[in-house]
DNA sequence: AATAAAATTTAGACAAATCTAAAAAATAAT
DNA sequence: ATTATTTTTTAGATTTGTCTAAATTTTATT
């Protein structure tokens, strides 16, 4: 037997899941923009997902994933993040190079394969961008973290996640030697443009814009 | 950019390549039977592959892969066999379990990913069924080997390849402890049904049918 | 409340890959 | 050399996923 759902359907489920998580609610336009497609195409797909009972949908009134749809979405996300981890930890790709490949690998259907991969990798908790990897049953925990704008000045903290994960921001962070696990503290906040000056051990201070700061998440004690 | 050719087109190229290798020539019906599809569907696809210059094709007269088509086919085969090797050596699957998964994985498009995987695996020469893995340029060498029917009696030899690779024969070979690399010799040939009695070191003799013997290839010195 | 704007859905079209049934060509048998 | 059989191709449908343009519904503004 091949995959249960087409790659396209799986991509929609994943997009809807993410938008639900972020905004609490999703619209047709949201999905269209996230998927780089047309609202009419989204509506077409909503009907198909509803027919498969993956989505609760009343036309013009809104939609959300069904229990089953959420379950399927989490399995795709699990695969996506495990493959990203594999690419970075075993094949030594950079964290800014793996997304496109994982976008294809996440559609490989064998559940047994994913579970064996998970085991091979030592059951990692988070992917190379700090995002939690759902376990075999789809369970995961959201890490408590704050973005750099909300980190108190002079408070040591460890980078634990990235919001926007475009290759562009990841490349910028690479350049400034900011990676997952990097320990740093905010030394100064400039009220003029909300830019920040950071200190990383054994490095000279670096400056980042408000836009970057909003997308770097850290955790810290106390 | 996504994949250059659809999974379906890639599967056709691979099937045509294999049939060409075995029979020297391929027919529409051959491909249909190999791909479990209809001759009419094959003709449809032949036209598409021709339009993409992957196939040399004159209707009613026959067809074969172009240089480019052969190159693409070899890259798919390379990916198929490297992923099979990964599944067996790293994820500890049995050689009878990996084909279906590799059938999906072979369509992952990134060339860089395959080359890194190859490196990670230590540039293996053959897949878990003894089939040669083409290198990054598509080069490979066919191993010199004979099937068990043609192995002289009492000649020590090492299993180096399997013809028919259905899960059924692989499971049978598993049961009889015949795997790639197994050292064995033929002790007796029964003229009645061409069945063979084999001896594997530290094991009691096993009997295999002519049908099985034809599909087990070995290499030996002198 | 009426109107304007935005969001969403429908209608109708198209490309890819497949199918069935029928026609055409090639091959085999008389 | 005809005729019969097999192989291959065409004609016309179907399914999935997408699109544009137009219609409908909801929401925001006067
Ligand atoms: Mn994807
Ligand atoms: Mn990630
Ligand atoms: Mn395949
Ligand atoms: Mn193989």
Q: Note the pLDDT tens digit of each residue in A161-200.
A: 999 999 999 999 999 999 998 999 999 999 999 999 999 9
Structure tokens at B125: 């020469």
**B141 has a pLDDT exceeding 90:** no
Q: How far is the CA of B100 from the C1' of D9 (A)?
A: 32
CB B208 within 8 A of CB B220: no
From the CA of A2, the nearest ligand is 3
Cross-strand bridge partners of residue B207: B197
Q: What is the mean pLDDT of chain B?
A: 95
CB A129 within 8 A of CB A180: yes
Q: B13-45: per-residue pLDDT in tens? A: 999 999 999 899 999 999 999 999 999 999 999
- Answer whether residue A104 is part of any domain: no
The answer, for A218 touching chain B at a CB cutoff of 8 Å, is no
Closest C-alpha among A58, A75, A61, A102 to residue A9: A75
**A221 has a pLDDT exceeding 80:** no
Q: At what angle do helices B28-35 and B39-51 cross, to 10 degrees?
A: 110
- Answer whether residue B161 is part of any domain: yes
Instruction: Tell me which residue range forms the domain holding B53.
Output: 7-65
* Percent of all residues in chain B with a pLDDT value above 90, rounded to a whole number: 91
Backbone angles phi, psi at B41, to 5 degrees: -65, -35
- Residue A34, CB-side half-sphere exposure with 13 Å CA sphere: 19
Helix (H, G, I), strand (E, B) or coil at A153: coil
Give the domain-ending residue among A46, A65, A84: A65
User: Is the minimum distance from the CB of A14 to strand D below 7 Å?
Assistant: no
The answer, for A186 touching chain B at a CB cutoff of 8 Å, is no
- Answer whether residue B77 is part of any domain: no
pLDDT of residue A65: 98
Q: Which of A92, A109, A120 sits opposite B91 (nearest CB)?
A: A120
For residues B47-60, average pLDDT: 97
| Distances A189 to A114, A182, A203, B28, B193 between C-alpha atoms, Å | 44, 20, 19, 71, 87
Q: What is the mean pLDDT of chain A?
A: 95
Q: Please, which positions of strand C sit below 7 A from a protein CB?
A: 7-12, 16-22, 25-26
The residue written with tokens 């080069």 in the block is B139
**B1 has a pLDDT exceeding 80:** no
- Answer whether residue A90 is part of any domain: no
Q: What separation in Å is there between the alpha carbon of B84 and the centre of ligand 4?
A: 6
For residue B181, give the CATH number of its domain.
Answer: 2.30.30.90
Helix (H, G, I), strand (E, B) or coil at A193: coil
User: Is the minimum distance from the CB of A42 to strand C below 7 Å?
Assistant: yes
Work out the minimum CA distance from A94 to partner chain B, whole angstroms: 12
- Answer whether residue B103 is part of any domain: no
The answer, for A200 touching chain B at a CB cutoff of 8 Å, is no
For residues B47-73, average pLDDT: 97
- Answer whether residue B209 is part of any domain: yes
For residue A28, give the CATH number of its domain.
Answer: 1.10.10.10
pLDDT of residue B190: 94
Give the domain-ending residue among A36, A65, A94: A65
Q: Which of A91, A110, A120 sits opposite B117 (nearest CB)?
A: A91
pLDDT of residue A222: 59
- Alpha-carbon distance of B122 to B115, in angstroms, equals 11
User: Is the minimum distance from the CB of A107 to strand D below 7 Å?
Assistant: no
pLDDT of residue B181: 87
- Answer whether residue A87 is part of any domain: no
* Percent of all residues in chain B with a pLDDT value above 70, rounded to a whole number: 100
Q: B88-104: per-residue pLDDT in tens? A: 999 999 999 999 999 99
**B142 has a pLDDT exceeding 90:** no
Q: A109-167: per-residue pLDDT in tens? A: 999 999 999 999 999 999 999 899 999 999 998 878 999 999 999 998 999 999 999 99
Mutation choice for B interface testing from A2, A113, A114, A118 by most B CBs within 10 A: A113
pLDDT of residue A141: 86
- Answer whether residue B25 is part of any domain: yes
Give the domain-ending residue among A25, A44, A65: A65
**pTM listed for this prediction:** 0.85
**Which residues of chain B lie closer than 8 angstroms to A110, CB-CB?**
100-101, 104
Q: How many domains in chain B?
A: 2
pLDDT of residue B222: 59
């Amino acid at each position: 037997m091949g995959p249960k759902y087409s790659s396209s359907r799986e991509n929609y489920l994943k997009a809807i899941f993410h938008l639900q998580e972020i905004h609490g609610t999703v619209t047709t336009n949201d999905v269209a923009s996230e998927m780089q497609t047309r609202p009419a195409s989204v509506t077409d797909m909503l009907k198909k997902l509803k027919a498969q009972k993956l989505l609760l949908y009343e036309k013009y009134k809104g939609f959300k994933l069904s229990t089953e749809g959420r379950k399927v979405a989490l399995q795709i996300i699990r695969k996506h993040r495990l493959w990203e981890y594999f690419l970075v930890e075993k094949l030594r790709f950079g964290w800014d190079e793996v997304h496109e490949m994982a976008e294809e690998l996440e559609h490989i259907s064998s559940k047994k394969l994913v579970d064996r991969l998970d085991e091979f990798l030592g059951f990692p908790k988070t992917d190379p961008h700090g995002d939690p990897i759902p376990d075999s049953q789809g369970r995961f925990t959201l890490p408590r973290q704050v973005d750099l704008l909300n980190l108190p000045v002079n408070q040591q903290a460890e980078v634990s996640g990235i919001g926007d994960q475009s290759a562009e921001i990841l490349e910028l962070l690479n350049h400034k030697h900011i990676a997952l696990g990097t320990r740093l503290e905010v030394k100064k906040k400039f009220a003029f443009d909300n830019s920040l000056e950071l200190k990383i051990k054994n490095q000279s201070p670096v400056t980042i814009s408000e836009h970057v700061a909003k997308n770097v998440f850290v955790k810290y004690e106390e």
